[in-house]
Amino acid sequence: MRGNIIAYIEMCQNEGTSLQKGMNFRLKGKHSVILMSVRENSPYQDEITEDGTVLIYEGHDVPKTKGISDPKQLDQPEYRKPGSLTENGKFHKAAQGFKSGIKGPDIVQVYEKIKPGIWSDNGYFHLVDSWVQPDRNRNVFKFKLVAVEGVADKTQPEDLADRKVKRSRIIPTSVKLEVWKRDGGKCVTCGATDELHFDHILPYSKGGTSFKAENIQLLCARHNLEKSAKIQ
């Protein structure tokens, strides 16, 4: 559920695999999964744009192996040496397929690292574009993903006819961190420290903002459900 705070092991259980890398294309033939971070000193330059509805995700470097001491000096790869696509290449091919109109947008589940050991479920996105751009002395991949309210079938790309989907919005990382510190990592109602959720005090659907900590609080699953049930 979007906004849930989740442990790494729970993420792996949700996806049915060990998430050892940041880019995971069509896990077990189903939706893709990416792990993002916009914290200081993050290895990649991910960014949230367009009022929190769009994620620009940076592709990943060549692995640090024997003979490669600094992957940041090399272009991000599209192909492996045998000629098969890297994760960059797979995501790029899928994005360009949508952009050219031959397929629907791939569905991507996004998890965000907000602190060591603390992750946030950012929900589902549509992969809608990709490109290669210069970054100092090399080229990197960029992927554009749009946050969506829901998906029809997470096991397949969306139908081409269903392009007018309702966008969702991500709570900025800076706000999440401010709320986490202010609320002490506990539910503001009962003090629980598990099954927490970033909750809008005034719902987004009723004009509440995602960009001010004053409108966001930590609630446990039980009290989040109780609050939702009272909103008419």
Of 102, 88, 98, the residue nearest 126 (C-alpha):
98
Number of domains the chain is built from: 2
Query: Final residue of a domain: which of 170, 194, 221?
Result: 170
What pLDDT digit, counting tens, does each position of 4-25 carry? 999 999 999 989 999 989 999 9
Of 24, 60, 65, the residue nearest 45 (C-alpha):
60
Residue range(s) defining the domain that contains residue 181: 171-232
* Residue 134 confidence (pLDDT): 96
- Regarding whether 92 and 184 lie in a shared domain, the answer is no
Terminal C-alpha separation, the chain: 20
- Regarding whether 127 and 18 lie in a shared domain, the answer is yes
- Regarding whether 93 and 17 lie in a shared domain, the answer is yes
- Regarding whether 107 and 22 lie in a shared domain, the answer is yes
pTM of the model: 0.89
- Regarding whether 53 and 31 lie in a shared domain, the answer is yes
Query: Final residue of a domain: which of 148, 170, 192?
Result: 170
Q: Looking at 7-11, 94-98, 206-210, which range is the least confident one? A: 206-210
Mean pLDDT of the chain: 90
Place of tokens 């003979």: 67
Buried/exposed 41-64: b ≥16 CB within 10 Å, e otherwise:
eeebebebeeebbbbbbbbbbbee
